Structure 1
Amino acid sequence: MHVQRGIRLTALRMHAHARFSSTSIDWPRPGRVGMIGLGQLGQAVVGNLLRAGLAPVIYDVKGESSASKLLDQGAVWASSGKALAEKCDVVLTGLPRPTDVSAAMGLTASGVGPDGILAGLQPGTVWIEHSTTDFENTNKIRAEVEKRGCKAVAAPVTGGMQILKVGKMVALVGADEETFQQVKPLISLSAPRIIRCGEFGHETVVKILTNMLCAVQDCAMGEVMMIAKKSGVDMKLLFDAMRISSGNSFCWETEFARVMDGTYYPDFTSEMMAKDIELGQSLARKHGVPMLMHGQVAQIYDLCMAKYGKDSGSTIPVKLVEDACHTSLADEATSKKFKDWTYTTEIADGSYVIVHKNIDNPHSEISKKIS
């Protein structure tokens, strides 16, 4: 199998407080890793592969012009999904919806088309699915992949696009043990924090549920922020106080700043969030789970898309509250404090911890005193 003899990574050692400093990778021939789907996720993954010294083969239905920066950095363009699969030992996909994944694979109502990934897969190839999609559809594709003597790995990623771009994402992985061990070093280039999720398909369920909880928080945070604003509470104080309280969340820590700059977290769109809620509702119907909360959240996102557009950021429910109250949560003084804000992440005692950068952080001094 190509992957068994092909992947050799050395000096891939992650410290809790720093990225890996050096990576040496040998691959049988240039371009043996392929990526289909060059949205924000796909471009970030390809960027990590390039930094590691690989020359990934890439393809997207938007055409070669959509990948000019990646091609300038050493990526190799393929003319179709089939052409990419014919060249690669590992094929990665990162696409928005289940229908997009099926189309990329070449699955049609009448069978397998001539230009998709399935038409070009060579025996021994590994397919790694980074998309957040319908796990039943993924299982269907998995069966087609395995018919061709290939292996399938489901590895949706979570943790924020900013973290993916610097290779510190979390991957939720479903695969047989042998295949997992073969591709783990490759996945680690983008997501060194890997969680095995048992049976193939369970990782996608976990990822969908993660985004569903984020959607609830995005809908709730605007309301509490507006109550604070109307009560005269300083917004930066609110941000800092909430971070050290029982009301804290990943969304609060990483998306508050996107309200202050008026972008409402454009890295993940309201349409993508609505898609994940819909996938979760489908699972709920299958298992007879009532969706009182998430049914309301789904309606809120439908309203947001109708009012602000499908490409509006996933934190856009906050703007619904601002518009209803005719009050902007951001003010010049607070926005200025978040102007250069960014973040990274650490794992502390098994939990994801946000590390804030380029912002006054009163909790830093508290931590020093406690330690």
Structure 2
Amino acid sequence: MILTKLSRNVLNIQFSRYLSTSGIQSAELKVGIVGMGHVGTAVANNLLRKGFEVSAINDIIPDLCKGYPDSIKVVKTPAEVAQLSDVIVSGLPKPPHVKQVFEGPDGLLAGLGQGKIWIDHSTTDHEQNKVFTEKLTDKGAGLLECPITGGLEALKKGQMAVWVAGNKDDYLKVRNILEASYSTVQYTGGLGTAMIPKVLSNMLCGLQVIAMAEAMLIAKKSGLDLVEFWHSIRMSAGNSFLWETCGPNVFRGEYHDSFPIDLMCKDNQLGYEMARNAQVPLELFGLMQQIYNRALYSLGPDVGCYAPPKLYELEQKESLQAPGFENWSYTVENVDGALHVRHQNINLPNKSSK
């Protein structure tokens, strides 16, 4: 029987759906990782801790692939990772990096084949993802757009949240793999829908970072103890996930250095493009974007994404650092679908006695 290209594609999709419902478990799938930075490293450790098989890893910096069990193959190209794996996970800085990993004789596309699924945690251009998906469909493979939120410390503990967009059958096939690293997994629908809450969430965080800097400077210059003021807001209606986690970062003088401001400004620009396409004015978000750009130009691309408070500190000649947070860390709990912060290694206010 001679099959047309269309009929082959239909059979490929049907076969992929069969795999997702035929009793094959996620734990039996071989998982490869491209990009062993903060995200790739945390995902690899989470998968190994939960008993999944990590088949191969790759990074442009070979030293980042050291220290893993001998059973994990360190390979030279993304194509080799794809060839050795059923599921490929990536987390890369910007859209051009994702494109570079995908294309060419050494790229993911060259190694992806029937039934394989690519999970991309990068915050990237969803229009670019649509182009990738068209090429993957011809090979019977799939792409899941999976941006993440919640902070690096939460990801290390498997407590972060992830949005998932793409073919739902592909999502169901790899859901257990995602649950190894994320306490909250939300399927948002077709390709492109996961990037919208991810980018807008980051932009909302940007607004709160700037507001926090202004509030803290007002409080300190008015004579309040910074740490007491931070706790005062924690007990109020003004509290937020950002207030709980950004405050200690600033007290430590770190400014969330695991996520550079260069990437935050990239996300802001993605949000600007979304707003332009939707024909929605960006008044508050636009002001936030310009303040972040000013921090980027003044402090450099490698300073952490909580850098606006540092910019304000320099301009006001007033420090927002505070003692008592040298060993601070946090965990995240999923309470009714929302992320709640639990602090560790700091002095918390005493509970009122009965």
Give the drift of 1:67.
1.7
Aligned equivalent of 2:225, options 212, 224, 234: 234
* C-alpha separation in 2, matches of 1:51 and 1:347: 20
Give the aligned partner of residue 346 of structure 1.
333
Q: How does 1:294-313 map to 2 (within 5 A)?
A: 294-313=285-304
Residue pair 2:220, 2:226 contacting (<8 A) in 1 also? yes
CA shift in 2, pair 1:6/1:68, >3 Å: farther
Aligned equivalent of 2:25, options 1, 4, 8: 8
* C-alpha separation in 2, matches of 1:354 and 1:258: 14
Give the drift of 1:174.
1.4
Give the aligned partner of residue 60 of structure 1.
59
Give the drift of 1:116.
0.6
Runs of at least 5 residues in structure 2 that lack an aligned partner in the other structure: 1-15
Give yes or no for the alignment of 1:91 onto 2:77.
Answer: no
Residue pair 2:25, 2:173 contacting (<8 A) in 1 also? no
The DSSP-based 3-state class of the residue aligned with 2:185 is: strand
CA RMSD of aligned residues (A): 1.9
Q: Residues 182-205 of structure 1: CA distance to partner in whole angstroms, max 9, x if unpaired?
A: 100011111131112122211111
Tell me which amino acid in the other structure corresponds to 1:278. Answer: Q
* C-alpha separation in 2, matches of 1:308 and 1:73: 41
Aligned equivalent of 2:144, options 150, 153, 159: 153
Give the drift of 1:66.
2.5
Q: In the comparison of the two structures, how many residue pairs are matched?
A: 336
* C-alpha separation in 2, matches of 1:243 and 1:117: 45
Residue pair 1:82, 1:120 contacting (<8 A) in 2 also? yes
Residue pair 1:166, 1:190 contacting (<8 A) in 2 also? yes
Give yes or no for the alignment of 1:199 onto 2:190.
Answer: yes
* C-alpha separation in 2, matches of 1:134 and 1:61: 22
Runs of at least 5 residues in structure 1 that lack an aligned partner in the other structure: 10-24, 107-112
Give the drift of 1:94.
0.7
Q: Residues 108-133 of structure 1: CA distance to partner in whole angstroms, max 9, x if unpaired?
A: xxxxx211110111211011111111
Percent identity (aligned): 36
* C-alpha separation in 2, matches of 1:305 and 1:291: 20
Residue pair 1:3, 1:90 contacting (<8 A) in 2 also? no
The DSSP-based 3-state class of the residue aligned with 1:359 is: coil
TM-score, normalised on structure 1? 0.86
* C-alpha separation in 2, matches of 1:365 and 1:73: 49
Q: Residues 251-270 of structure 1: CA distance to partner in whole angstroms, max 9, x if unpaired?
A: 11001111111111112111
TM-score, normalised on structure 2? 0.90
Structure 1 runs (4+) greater than 6 angstroms displaced: 2-6
* C-alpha separation in 2, matches of 1:94 and 1:217: 25
Give the drift of 1:72.
5.0
The DSSP-based 3-state class of the residue aligned with 1:247 is: coil
* C-alpha separation in 1, matches of 2:295 and 2:71: 39
* C-alpha separation in 2, matches of 1:6 and 1:90: 17
Give the aligned partner of residue 115 of structure 2.
124
